[in-house]
């Protein structure tokens, strides 16, 4: 069993930065792929970024060049550094984890039956 807890959300002006963290507890995190998702009111959940167990990364097109995902296995934590934030980035951000050494980590479907956190709100004002 893995418990995930997101932190680092908040209110920021457009062009600003936030660093989200996803802290895992319960089991070793090393073999898990981790994805970040977001959901804005009235919109479908969006797959934003992911990092494989080996450190390979994936980003959706709208955040490429602005967001950076990284992992610190020693601290059982995955970070999402978000720079040059835009009002359209406003959403509830979730992290999800799935135990896999295989492929598929850059596909949102992998995380459907994985572990999920409760989310952290990011609000970007114009």
Q: What is the pLDDT of residues 58-110, one digit of tens each?
A: 999 999 999 999 999 999 999 999 999 999 999 999 999 999 887 889 899 99
Residue 27 scores a pLDDT above 90: no
Distance CA 54, CA 31 (A): 8
Residues 42/44/48/51 CA torsion (nearest 10 deg): 140
* Percentage of residues of the chain with pLDDT beyond 70: 100
Q: Please, which pLDDT band fits residue 116 given cuts at 50, 70 and 90?
A: very high
Q: What is the pLDDT of residue 57?
A: 97
Q: Does residue 28 carry a pLDDT above 80?
A: no
Phi, psi for 87 (deg, rounded to 5): -55, -30
| Residues 51 and 71: beta-carbon distance below 8 Å | yes
pLDDT of residue 21: 98
Burial 64-100 (b: 16+ CB within 10 A, else e): eeebebebeeeebbbbbebeebeeebbbbbbbbbbeb
Which carries the bigger pLDDT value, residue 31 or residue 15?
15
Least confident of 7-11, 29-33, 53-57, 80-84: 29-33
For 55, which DSSP code?
S
Number of other residues whose CB lies within 10 A of the CB of residue 53: 19
């Amino acid at each position: 069993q893995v418990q995930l807890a997101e932190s680092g959300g908040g209110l920021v002006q457009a062009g600003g930065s936030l660093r989200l963290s996803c802290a895992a507890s319960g089991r070793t995190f090393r073999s898990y792929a981790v994805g970040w998702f977001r959901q804005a009111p009235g919109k479908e959940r969006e797959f934003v970024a992911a990092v494989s167990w080996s450190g390979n990364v994936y980003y959706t097109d709208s955040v490429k060049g602005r967001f950076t995902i990284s992992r610190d296995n020693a601290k059982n934590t995955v970070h999402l550094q978000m720079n040059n934030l835009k009002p359209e980035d406003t959403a509830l951000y979730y992290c999800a984890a799935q135990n896999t050494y295989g492929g598929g980590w850059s596909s949102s479907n992998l995380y459907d039956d994985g572990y999920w956190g409760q989310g952290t709100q990011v609000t970007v004002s114009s």
